[in-house]
Amino acid sequence: MQITAFKKMNGLYKKILCIVTTVLLSLLFVQTTWHPFTYLKLKNDPQKAHKPELTFTNYCKGSFQSQVDEYLKENYATRAICIRTVNQYNYWFDNKKTCTGFMLPGKDNWMYYRPGVLDYYGKEGPTHFKTDFELRNYIDNQVDMLNELRGILRNDYGIELLSFIAPDKPFIYPEHLPDMERDTTMVNAGDYFAQRFAETDFPNIDMKPWYKAIADTSQRLLFMPMDSHWQYASVFGFDSLFRLMNSLNDFGIPQMKINGIKTSRYKGRQDDEATLNLLFKIPNHTPLYTADISVISDSTSRKPKVLFVGDSFIFAYEWLIPKKELTSYYENWFYYDNVYKGFNKAKYKLKDINKLRSVLNADFIVVYSVGYQWYHGTRGFVEDVLSAIKDPYQVEVAKTMNRIESDEEWMQKIREKAQDKGVSVERMLELDAQWVVEHKNK
Amino acid sequence: MVFSSNVFLLYFLPLFLICYFVCPKKFRNYVILLFSIVFYAYGAPDFILYLLGSTVASFYLVKAMRKTGKPGLKKLYCALAIIISLGLLVYYKYANFLIDNINALIGLFGANAVRMAKVLLPIGISFFTFQSITYVIDTYRGNNEPMDKLTDYIVYIMMFPQLIAGPIVRYCDIESEIRHRKYSSAEFLQGFNRFVIGLSKKILIADVIGFQVDKLLAGDLAIMDSGTAWITIAAYTMQLYFDFAGYSDMAIGLGKIMGFHFPENFDNPYNSASITEFWRRWHMTLGAFMRNYLYIPLGGNRCSKRRMYFNLWVVFLLSGLWHGASWNFVIWGAYHGLWLVLERMGLKKVYERIGKAPSVIITFIIAMVGWSIFRIENLHDAFTFIGRLFAFDFSSFSINADTQFYTTLIVALIFSFIALFPFGKKLQDIVYYREHTLTGTIVFWLIAVFMLLFCLGALNAVGFSPFIYFRF
């Protein structure tokens, strides 16, 4: 009797388990399709897939099916927890190698930006160029163009163009890198740019050897173990940069003075660990430092207008440097895509602004990047500006735009016109400048 | 559609389970039919009509065959049904191969090449063609009655768990279950566990190893050192097994959930002490098909020794050709046929004398060398690779692979050989076949749910690849 009852109960529980299985799978379906529950997102998740469009042609070609797969890959239920679990497993058991995201964990819980590691091991070049000759040829051309542009800017407009090769963490602290086989087939882009700049007397600062020398003697770490970005030590880079700028034309830029390095109260900006998307946080006990900086100026000092063209090294300038005491205006062309103008960082897309006007508005133009970014050269900057500056019409329009901008009354009219026509102020300014130039000689 | 894809796991399977179990029992075959059509049409929209057309044709031909009282006409219908199935298989699978070889041959005499547009291969054609043939021949032989309802027959041919890559289910094996089947919660849970085991084999083992194998074989084979070559082929040996056995596990598991009992397709093949035994354990349903529908009709064992050796060799030659329209598959088949003949001629006695463990190792090595021909389609490259295996040059041994590859390879090797030991056999029995107590059921279920979610994560963290056996 008891055995029969037990068997019945057993059967009932198993039936319940079957129902739970079906419900569980159905919940996955419901969540994937309609997302009724919000759940923790993954950090730096590059969600790019669009919702698939079902048409007969798409379906027959198979493109609908591949779109569905791509879309589901990025939007399925429990994605965050599933991927974090897999990452945690890989982190614990598989030499920390296949974690998703941009970061690559090295030894002793150090984090590195993936392309930087590949660059250190000579593997980044072959992803951009077929041969060493092709890479060298590309860099030679870039340097030639930069020199030509520098000549024009310096001689015709009194603007200085210079470059800055920012330090890469893997080159400064290679001892914590994950092990990889080295590829020696190609030259390192950052190194070859530095060499070519030196050979052609192009003003450049290569921070890599500098940082390496400091790292070997300094008691404090120049990079935080769990962050790939530059911390307090970047002030040395900016100090050198401003000194170089001053030496080029005795502009009279106020001088930075580094009074000392102190421990920061903030733990922030060591957050690259989060991009590993693990289940459990890796404990971090390394202190974060900050630099105590003052600026020395006198009545002869002049604050320049600077255009920065490069990558995220500029953020260190924004966080750590008293920029208003050093520069009167600065503009940042971030990855030659987004533009941040002025201290309030008004955001534009590069394609929506007149590039030449920004160039001619500056006293100094600094082209900078970390080593592995130099495989992209100047990302089109030198080509675009060189072509524009050789066109008298474009130069005239750019100059006129800058002239109009300094006339507040005229600018007010432009703002009103822009509102009426539903275009941006920048575009309206350009249209007005074009009209002026075109009607000037009539 | 593949089982290890998001669309199957997140859309198809939940929807199917809801519809299947909500529907009254008498309509469940229609649910299977509808979902199987969607399953096939999703991945191969161009061929769904061809599949349905050939299935309908063979159904009515068999029906006519059964009705007619004239033996001659009966034979004609049977032949016609087989010719249609095999003819389409030959056309779709071997037309390109035949044309290429004819062109190569007539090119020797300076003649112009025969031009023909490339024929695309309908996915799973080798599997559903063989199933259709078992139905025709078994009905012709009187082993079973033909199906009354066309829909039931289409369910037999097109049932999505085994439609694409088997197991090759003989009609007589599931005839009664198509008409009437029993459902049990225990079998549902066993089926779910089995499905997740198969999914894990595919995603966590086969795909991880396969990624590295592809990378290694993409290099210059002529300069590969022997250590790397052996690791590469051992890895491929594991990849192929876990890929195909994983698919079979998923198919068998899904079948169990639905109330069907598909035949097992693998029985620890790498534990075999001879190639003869290997073929009793590897792709068992193909072996059974070849034995019942080719080897025995050719005369089987009941003929002269010379004829028997010839029969064996031909069966394996054709078995190789079944795997793909390419010379490497033909040679791979012939290679296995040769070992089988040698074993019958006396090699088996040598194995018995040297004992189980050395025999297993020798058989494993023979199988690995065979997989080299199977994997590397270009024959010149395949023989270069085999040359490197036996060059015994370990001077520059290094594999630039991650720990994940080695860990997975070791795990795969352990799972492949665990059944050689009594505790391993017991463990397999507990995991695969035994009905558990309630606590055991809950524990296994929780592990299965975790593994399903883990596989989903792994699938989307590294991407997915199609099953190797799909192209056959």
What's the pLDDT tens digit per position in A392-411?
Answer: 999 999 999 999 988 888 88
Does residue A219 form part of some domain? yes
Residues A362, A303 contacting (CB under 8 angstroms)? no
> Are A98 and B438 a contacting pair at CB < 8 A?
no
Beta bridge partners of A366: A162, A308
A46 found inside a domain: yes
Q: Is residue A236 part of a domain?
A: yes
- Confidence (pLDDT) at B470: 42
- Interface with chain B: mutation pick from A94, A118, A276, A278, highest number of B CBs within 10 Å: A94
Please list every residue in chain A whose beta carbon sits closer than 8 Å to the beta carbon of residue B402: 94-95, 97-98
Indicate yes or no: CB of A78 within 8 angstroms of CB of B441.
no
From A59, A77, A95, the end of a domain falls on: A77
Asked if residue A208 lies in contact with residue A190, where contact means CB atoms within 8 angstroms, the answer is yes
The reported pLDDT for the residue numbered B271 is 92
Does B454 contact chain A (CB < 8 Å)? yes
Q: In what order do the strands lie in the sheet with A204-206?
A: A204-206, A160-166, A364-370, A305-310, A329-334, A338-341, A346-349
The residue with tokens 């520059």 is B396
Q: Residue A292 in 3-state DSSP?
A: strand
Q: Within this chain, do residues A125 and A259 fall inside the same structural domain, yes or no?
A: yes
Inform me whether the C-beta atom of residue B197 falls under 8 Å from chain A C-beta atoms.
no
Residues A313 and A425 in one domain: no
Question: Is A349's pLDDT higher than 80?
Answer: yes
Chain B partners of A85 at a C-beta cutoff of 8 Å? 453-454, 457
Nearest chain A Cα distance for residue B340, angstroms: 41
Q: Which of B121, B104, B82, B97 is nearest to B320 (CA)?
A: B97
Tell whether B417 is within 8 A of chain A (Cβ): no
Residue A13 lies in a domain: no
Domain boundary among A350, A372, A390: A390
Place of tokens 């890198």: A177
What is the total count of domains within chain A? 3
Q: Report the pLDDT value the prediction gives residue B309, as an integer from 0 to 100.
A: 85
A338 and A386 part of one domain: yes
Q: Which residues contact A309 (CB under 8 A, 6 or more apart)?
A: A333, A336, A365, A366, A367, A368, A378, A381
Q: Any idea which residues of B carry the catalytic annotation?
A: 323
pLDDT value for A159: 95
Residue A150 has what pLDDT? 96
Q: Is the pLDDT of residue A305 over 90?
A: yes
- Whole-number pLDDT of residue A245: 92
Q: Looking at the structure, do residues A327 and A413 belong to the same domain, yes or no?
A: no
Cβ-defined contact of A76 to B449 (cutoff 8 Å): no
Q: B-chain residues within 8 Å CB-CB of A82?
A: 453-454, 456-457, 460
Residues A230, A366, single domain; the answer is yes
Specify if A83 maps to a domain.
no
* Residues A336 and A405 placed together within one structural domain of the fold: no
- Assess B10–A contact: CB distance below 8 Å, yes or no: yes
B439: nearest CA partner in chain A: A10
Burial A348-375 (b: 16+ CB within 10 A, else e): bebeebbbbbbbbbbbbbbbbbbbbbbb
Q: Which domain holds residue A293?
A: 105-390
Is 0.90 exceeded by the ipTM? no
Closest chain B residue to the Cα of A31, Cα to Cα: B10
With b meaning 16 or more CB within 10 Å and e meaning fewer, what string describes A189-220? bbbbbbebbeeeebbbbbbbebbeebbeeeee
Does a structural domain hold residue A7?
A: no
Per-residue model confidence (pLDDT) at position A365: 96
Residue A342 and residue A227 share a domain: yes
Claim to verify: residue A224 and residue A134 sit in the same structural domain:
yes
pLDDT reported for residue A265? 65
CA distance B26 to chain A (A): 20
Q: CB-side exposure of A28: number of CA atoms within 13 Å?
A: 27
Q: Which residues of A touch B457 (CB under 8 A)?
A: 79, 81-86
CB contact under 8 A, A94 and B5: no
Contact at CB, A11 and B185, closer than 8 angstroms = yes
Lowest mean pLDDT among A387-391, A416-420, B252-256: A416-420
Point out the residue among A14, A33, A89 whose CB comes nearest to the CB of B185. Answer: A14
Residues A165 and A47 in one domain: no
Please report which confidence band the pLDDT of residue A133 belongs to, taking 50, 70 and 90 as the band edges: very high
Shared domain for A230 and A241, answered yes or no, is yes
Distance from CA of B397 to the nearest CA of A (A): 14
DSSP code of B405? Answer: H
Helix (H) or strand (E) holding B354: helix B348-354
Q: Is residue A1 part of a domain?
A: no
Share of chain A above pLDDT 90, in %: 34
Distance (Å) from the alpha carbon of A16 to chain B's nearest alpha carbon: 9
Chain B residues with CB under 8 Å of A15 CB are 185
Residues A76, B456: C-beta atoms closer than 8 Å? yes
Mark the ranges of chain B whose per-residue pLDDT is less than 70.
117, 119, 121, 397-402, 462-472
B186 shares contact with chain A (CB less than 8 Å): yes
Measure B134 CA to nearest chain A CA, in Å.
Answer: 32
Same domain assignment for residues A258 and A328: yes
- Lowest average pLDDT, out of A144-148, A330-334, B14-18, B174-178, goes to B174-178
Tell me how close the Cα of B312 comes to any Cα of chain A, in angstroms: 42
pLDDT in the model for residue A215: 86
What is the tens place of the pLDDT at every residue in A54-91?
888 888 877 888 888 888 887 788 888 888 888 888 78
CB of B438 less than 8 A from some CB of A? yes
* Domain end residue (candidates: A369, A390, A411): A390
Q: A3 lies in a domain? A: no
In a shared domain, residues A43 and A122: no
pLDDT at A95 over 50: yes
A81 to chain B: closest CA residue: B457
Q: Is B465 on the interface with A (CB under 8 A)?
A: no
A2 pLDDT band, cuts 50/70/90, is low
Distance CA B26, CA B214 (A): 47
Q: Are residues B17 and A90, on separate chains, in Cβ contact within 8 Å?
A: no
**Does A97 contact B404 at a Cβ distance shorter than 8 Å?**
yes
The string of pLDDT tens digits covering residues A210-253 is 888 888 888 888 888 888 777 788 888 888 899 999 998 888 89
- Binned at pLDDT 50, 70 and 90, residue A390 comes out as very high
